[in-house]
Amino acid sequence: MPDPGRRDSLKALAGALAGACLPSAAVAVSTASSSAAIAHPSAETPVAATRSGRVRGYRDRGVLVFKGIPYGADTSTRRFMPALRERPWHGVRDALVQAASAPQRKPDARISEDCLYANVFTPALRDGLARPVLVYLHGGGYDSGSGSSPLYDGVRLCRRGDVVVITLNHRLNAFGYLYLAQLGGDDYAWSGNVGQLDLIQALHWVREHAAEFGGDAGNVTLFGQSGGGAKIATLMAMPAAQGLFHRALTMSGQQVTAAGPRAATQRAQHLLDALKIAPEDLSRLRTLSLQTLVEATSLRDLSRIEDTALYFGPVLDAKSLHRHPFYPDAPAQSAAIPMVIGNTRDETRAFLAGDVANLALGWDELPGKLREHQYVDLDPDTVVAEYRRLYPDYTPSQIFFAATTAGRSWRAAIIEAETRARQGAPTWVYQLDWGSPLDGGRWGAMHTLDIALMFDNTGQAGSRTGDDAQARALAARMSDALIALARHGDPNHDGLPAWAPYSLQRRETLLFDVRPRLVEDPRAGERRLYERVPFVQRGTF
């Protein structure tokens, strides 16, 4: 028998999202050209029709590009609430340059609470070919980043696979995930997950406009790295997202558990205390300047061993998220979605190899370094002894990077793959073993390395792969796997060895390297070592 409370909350969410789609008063947009130059001018300027007005894009290497298309209204008047639909405009709106990123502490572009925008890359408009639609969710945890990075440029992927590529901006950190439901009234009921609700609103926009941009609304693939993968994992457990996407690929981004309401409320109270706002004056949060609220998010999170800023992420709020994304099992609503789960072999080199001391550790230093950075409550001496048994040729620094990687996101990837395998859900697992050639190879197969490979953007600004023949060949294999997943629901293609789905018996994993190969249960000894302790996602307790 259905749970009446859950049914009522789903109805409430449906009402909130329906309200978010009500049109506001029209706003005029000049039909004059943007002051920013078009990257590749063309006499045949593409114009697309959206639900709120027409947009003018440009051509780049034969691909039609539209940047900064609004899928929701300015959120400054809806702080901590579900967004409203974007306001209609008259005439043709220029979609030639990136729009503002969400408010964050270290932006690489202009920030604004008016941040609900999509960028679209497509081979054609309105041609009825129903191409797969690939929607990328950016990394940066739930705290930073945007869909506007040059590394996420979709032109090459679009051309390679004859697909539609879309990147998104949405609310982050306190603006998207500050849980105030237990401190305020009904206006704050959805506050802990409005960043996720922005993504759901964006996916409704994608479904509504797929045909206009030459895509298939019934074949939408979500892919994302780091925080983007975690957002995908969370969407897989959110009832309001069901049916809005049909395949998923995550790169070094998992979400096993969400924050509980007690922990999320404690963090919110910590922020209120720093701002000197009493619960009865909660409305003051809505009138604080953007910068004041952004600066407050840098508070140290006392629940985490590392010295890091306050954690913001999805909350088990019993309204939009009723269960942990991948605990105690995989979400039933997503069992039919083909999914690829990936990680890199040397994740933590991205964060820890910048300190040259970590590249030349001694055996006496190693236990203390592990105690500080492995984020798992295992005795460091036990960890070192087991790694020396498993890999007798490893140096202390090699053990340091391997152990910190195994104790962080790799462990969560294994849990997600295991729960999907128990469910019988179609799942493929990869590990990027090929390492960056930059700086003498110090970075290895670092966190973020697979972004440029999956986008086929090895020559793009921000890529850490280099752009030689080896990098381009690996990018071809990885981007073709993404395209195959999107087109067929299976990542196998002629450039790879046969890639079997993940099973508990064999733990099949494709190792992407100069010569990709399928192996069974790579790093089995490390897996068994870290299974000795329970896993709870950092920041969610």
* Domain locations in the chain as residue ranges: 332-530
Q: Across the chain, what does the average pLDDT equal?
A: 91
3-state secondary structure of 168: strand
| Cβ-count burial 173-212 (b if 16+ within 10 Å, e if not) | bbbbbbbbbebbeebbbbbbbbbbbbbbbbbbbbbebbbe
Query: Residue 8's closest CA among 291, 275, 322, 276?
Result: 322
Task: Give catalytic residues, as residue numbers.
Answer: 226
Q: In the predicted model, what is the mean pLDDT of residues 206-214?
A: 98
Q: Is the pLDDT of residue 208 over 80?
A: yes
Q: In the predicted model, what is the mean pLDDT of residues 238-254?
A: 97
Identity of the amino acid at 392: P
Q: Is 303 exposed, middle or buried (0-12, 13-18, 19+ CB in 10 A)?
A: middle
Considering the entire predicted model, what is its pTM?
Answer: 0.92
Q: In the predicted model, what is the mean pLDDT of residues 266-271?
A: 94
- Phi first, then psi, for residue 230 (nearest 5°) are -65, -40
Identity of the amino acid at 342: G
DSSP, res 300: B
Q: How confident is the model at residue 304 (pLDDT cuts 50, 70, 90)?
A: low
CA atoms within 13 A of residue 22's CA, in its CB half-sphere: 8
For 45, the token pair is 């300027």
Asked whether the beta carbons of 221 and 487 are under 8 A apart, the reply is no
Q: Is 55 exposed, middle or buried (0-12, 13-18, 19+ CB in 10 A)?
A: buried
Cα separation, 475 vs 469, in Å, equals: 10
Strand partners, 168: 118
Asked whether the beta carbons of 270 and 312 are under 8 A apart, the reply is no
Least confident segment among 26-35, 55-64, 216-225: 26-35
Given this structure, which CATH class describes domain 332-530? alpha beta
Asked whether the beta carbons of 103 and 113 are under 8 A apart, the reply is yes
Q: Is the pLDDT of residue 72 over 90?
A: yes
Asked whether the beta carbons of 255 and 26 are under 8 A apart, the reply is no
**The pLDDT of residue 306:** 59
Cα–Cα separations (whole angstroms), residue 237 to 206, 315, 336, 428: 20, 12, 13, 19
Q: Which residues contact 258 (CB under 8 A, 6 or more apart)?
A: 234, 313, 314, 315, 316, 321, 324, 325, 537, 540
**The pLDDT of residue 307:** 59
DSSP, res 282: G
Q: How confident is the model at residue 18 (pLDDT cuts 50, 70, 90)?
A: very low
Q: In the predicted model, what is the mean pLDDT of residues 100-127?
A: 95
- Ranges of beta strands (E only) in 372-457 are 427-432
pLDDT in tens, 371-427: 988 888 899 999 999 999 999 999 999 999 999 999 888 999 999 999 999 999 999
Strand partners, 117: 70
Cα separation, 464 vs 457, in Å, equals: 10
Pairing of strands 47-50, 53-56: antiparallel
| Cβ-count burial 492-529 (b if 16+ within 10 Å, e if not) | bbeebeebebbeeeebbbbbbbeebeeeeebbeebbeb
Q: Is 4 exposed, middle or buried (0-12, 13-18, 19+ CB in 10 A)?
A: exposed
pLDDT in tens, 178-189: 999 999 989 999
Asked whether the beta carbons of 425 and 337 are under 8 A apart, the reply is yes
Cα separation, 365 vs 396, in Å, equals: 9
Task: To the nearest 10°, report the CA torsion of 179, 182, 185, 189.
Answer: 50
For 10, the token pair is 């789903």
Q: Which residues contact 405 (CB under 8 A, 6 or more apart)?
A: 345, 346, 347, 348
Cα separation, 350 vs 352, in Å, equals: 6
